[in-house]
Amino acid sequence: MKTFPKHYLAVVLAAACSTTFADELEEIVVTASPFAKTIEAVNKPVNLLSGADLQNASSSTLGETLNGQLGVSSASFGPGVGLPIIRGQSDNRVKVMQDSVGSMDASAASPDHAVTLEPLLANKIEVLRGPAALRYGSGAIGGVVNVLDNRIPSELPDAITGGVELRNASVNNETVGVGSLNAAAGDFAFHIDGVKRESSDMEIPGYAEKTPQDVATASKGIIPNTDAESKSGTLGVSYISGEDFIGISVNTLDNNYGVPPDGDEHVRIDMHQTRYDLKGELNNPFDGFQKISARLGHNDYEHTEMENGEAGTKFTNNAYEGRIELIHNPLEFFAIDWNGALGVQAAQSTFAAIGEEAFIPKSDISNLGFFIVEETKRGDWTYEIGARGDTQTISPEAGGSISHDSLNLSATTTWHFTQDQQFSVGLAQSQRAPSIEELFANGPHPATGSFLIGDEALNEETSTNLELGYHWHGDKIQFSSNIFYNQVKDFIYAENLNEIIDDLNGYQYTQANATFRGFETEVKIQFHPQWNLRLFSDNVRATLDEGGDLPRITPTRFGGSLDFNVNQWSANISATHAAKQNHAGKDESETDSYNRLDARVDYTFNNAGADYILFAKATNLTNADIRNASSYLREIAPEAGRSVQIGVRVKF
C-alpha cells in the first residue's frame, strides 16, 4: 500500500480541507422547496445525502458517489469520469449545481468530460426527480443534482473548527488527503478547504475488452491509461449579521485523468478551472417579502484533450450564472392563503472547442428564466403549483443565432391521510432547448471515438411527466414508493449512422418521440436498537414510440443493506443485483446481470477534544466482472475489481 509522503500531510494539514467534516446541519432540503422544509415534509421524490451517509458514500466522482441512490446511476467513462444519471437521463437533461448555481464546466457536452464538483467537499447532496426540478429550468428536464457545501459560510462558528481525512484504496492505489478549517473574527466568518488525489491504473478481474480478439496482446488485470491526479482548494469569507449574510469564495481545480484506450489511441484530459461565487440572504428585505436570496457564479474553465501525448482539442467555457429568489408573505386568492416564491435566473457563457479536430464552433450562449412556485394547505391536503419560462440564444462565431423558448409547468398534491402516511400525485410539463453540440456539432471527437453531426433545425423537447408516490414514516419502519410515466416529444439523441467517418463511428443528432417509465421503492426497518435493514428496487424502461429502445439505460436493480451500531463501532454490508439489460438499443450491445457485494466498518473515539474515525471499506468483494449498461465503454472497460480502502477522519 502506498505511504503518504511528507508533503501530503503538509498540504492537507495546512489547507485543513473541509467536507466530510461539515458541521452537522438540520436536514433541510433547500433546493426541493423554497420554504425551508425538512425532507419528510417535502413532496417526493427527493434524495438527500448528508452526514455519515454522505461520508460513507463519497467517492472520486459525483456519479459514483450517487450510484445506488433510488433512481440514480453513473455514466461511467473510466474511473476519472462519473456523471449522474437520473431515471435514464443525463448530460444536458440533468442540471448539476454548486449551491443552486450551475457547474459551468463542459461535462454536459460529452461523456468523457468530468464534472468539476468535488463530492468530498460537500455538506449535503440533494437529488430532485420529477416535478420538484421545475425551478431550475430547461437543463433540469431529467432532474437536478445540487451539491451544497460551506465554502461561503452562513453562520458564525463559535470556535475554530475543521477536520482532516486521509484514505487509500487498493484497486488503483488511490491516495486522498482532504481537510477544512472554519473560523470567525467579529462579524466575519472564514472557510478554507483543499483536496489532493493521486491514483494509478485501475485493477479489474479479467480482460479489459469484453471479447478480446487477441488475448496475447489484450490488457488483463488492469485498464491502462486510467491513472489520475487532481487537486482543489477553496477560500471563502462572509459578513454575517444575525440571520443575514453576504459572502464570496474562490476555488481552483486542476485535474488530469486518462480515458480507457480503444485501440492505440490514448487520450488524457488536462483540466483547469478558477471559480468565483457570491452568495447572500436578507430577511424581511421590504414590505410583502420574508426573504431574498441571491447567488452569482463565474467560472473560467478549460481542458485540453491530450492524444498520445500531443495536445488536441481544447475546450473553454467563460461562464456567468446568477439567481435571485424572493419568498413572499402569505397572500389570499379566492379565499385561500398561498405561500410562494418567485425569482429570476440568468446565464451567459462563451463556449469553444479549439483545434484541428474541434467539433463545436465558438459560441456565445445566453439563458434567461423567470419562475414562480406557490403552495397552500387545505386540511389534510397540500397543493403546490409552479411555472417557469426560459429563453435561450446560441450565437456561433460564424453564422446566425438560434433562439428557443421553453415553458415548464407543474402541479402536485399530497394527501396526508394519517400522521405517518402520505400519498402524492404530480403532473409536470417541461421543455428543453437543444444544446450547442446538438445544434452545431460537425467533426471528430477522438476521446469518444465518434464523429458527431448536429442539426440546426432541432426543436425543443417537451416532456409530460406523471408521478404517483406513497410514503409511510413510522417509529421503526419507513416505506416509500414512486411510479413515474414520462412521455417526451421530440426527444433528441445521437443516432448511430452505422458508417465510418474519418476512421470514427458516425453519429447524427436527431429527434423522435420517447417514453420513460419506471418505479422506485425503498423500505427501512429498525428491528433492533443496534440493527437497521434497508431493501430497495428501482427500474426504468426507455423506448422510442416508433419502436426500439434508447441506449445506456440502467436495468432493473434490487438489493439491501444491513447496518450495525454499538458503542464506538458501526458496520454495514450491502448487496446489489442488476438484471441483464436486454433492451440495449439499436446497434448497442447487451450487458449481463451482475451481483455486487460491499462492506464497511468504522471505529469512533475522542482524544484531546477531537473526534477520530478509523474506517475500512471493501467494494466488489466477490471481484465480479461488472459492465454497466449505462457506461459508454462497457465493451472495453469494466468497473473496478475488488478494492479495500482504509482511512482516518479527524474532526475538531
Predicted local confidence at residue 520, as pLDDT: 96
Phi and psi of 438, rounded to 5°?
-65, -30
Predicted local confidence at residue 5, as pLDDT: 38
Range among 33-42, 304-313, 580-589, 599-608 rated most confident? 599-608
Alpha carbon distances (Å) from 265 to 242, 262, 359: 57, 6, 18
Contact criterion met (CB below 8 Å) for 597 and 613: no
Predicted local confidence at residue 38, as pLDDT: 59
State the Cα–Cα distance between residues 484 and 77, nearest whole angstrom: 28
Selected residue with higher pLDDT from 509 and 336: 509
Question: Quick check: 372 pLDDT over 80?
Answer: yes
Contact criterion met (CB below 8 Å) for 94 and 145: yes
Question: Quick check: 30 pLDDT over 70?
Answer: no
- Over the stretch 127-182, which tens digit does the pLDDT of each residue have? 987 777 778 887 788 889 999 999 999 999 999 999 999 999 999 999 999 999 99
At 289, list the grid cell: 417579502
Predicted local confidence at residue 234, as pLDDT: 97
What percentage of the chain exceeds 70 in pLDDT? 93
CATH 3.40.50.300 holds for 6-651: no
Which alpha helices (DSSP H) does 349-443 contain, by range?
Answer: 436-440
Domain range summary for the chain, segments of one domain joined by +: 6-651
- Over the stretch 64-87, which tens digit does the pLDDT of each residue have? 999 889 999 988 888 889 899 999
| pTM passes above 0.85 | yes
* CB count in 10 Å sphere of residue 577: 15
Which alpha helices (DSSP H) does 505-555 contain, by range?
Answer: none
**Band of residue 37 on the pLDDT scale cut at 50, 70, 90:** low
Question: Quick check: 291 pLDDT over 70?
Answer: yes
Contact criterion met (CB below 8 Å) for 24 and 33: no
Of 135-139, 334-338, 507-511, which range is least confident? 135-139
Predicted local confidence at residue 503, as pLDDT: 85
Q: Name residue, grid cell 446481470.
A: 593
Mean pLDDT of 628-645: 92
At 346, list the grid cell: 440568468
The number of CA neighbours under 13 Å toward the Cβ of 541 is: 13
Mean pLDDT of 95-109: 92
Q: Name residue, grid cell 433528441.
A: 492
- Whole-number average pLDDT of the chain: 89
Predicted local confidence at residue 14, as pLDDT: 33
- Over the stretch 379-437, which tens digit does the pLDDT of each residue have? 999 999 999 999 999 999 988 899 999 999 999 999 999 989 999 999 999 999 999 99
Of 19-28, 337-346, 393-402, 428-437, which range is least confident? 19-28
- Identity (one letter) of the amino acid at 577? H
Torsion of CA 513, 519, 520, 526, to 10 degrees: 180
**Band of residue 26 on the pLDDT scale cut at 50, 70, 90:** very low
Question: Quick check: 13 pLDDT over 50?
Answer: no
Question: Quick check: 10 pLDDT over 70?
Answer: no
- Identity (one letter) of the amino acid at 492? I
**Band of residue 53 on the pLDDT scale cut at 50, 70, 90:** confident
Predicted local confidence at residue 39, as pLDDT: 60
Sign of the torsion formed by the C-alpha atoms of 68, 69, 70 and 72: negative
Question: Quick check: 29 pLDDT over 60?
Answer: no
Taking alpha carbons only, the member of 297, 296, 150 closest to residue 237 is: 150
Phi and psi of 457, rounded to 5°?
-95, 5
Contact criterion met (CB below 8 Å) for 634 and 223: no
Predicted local confidence at residue 90, as pLDDT: 87
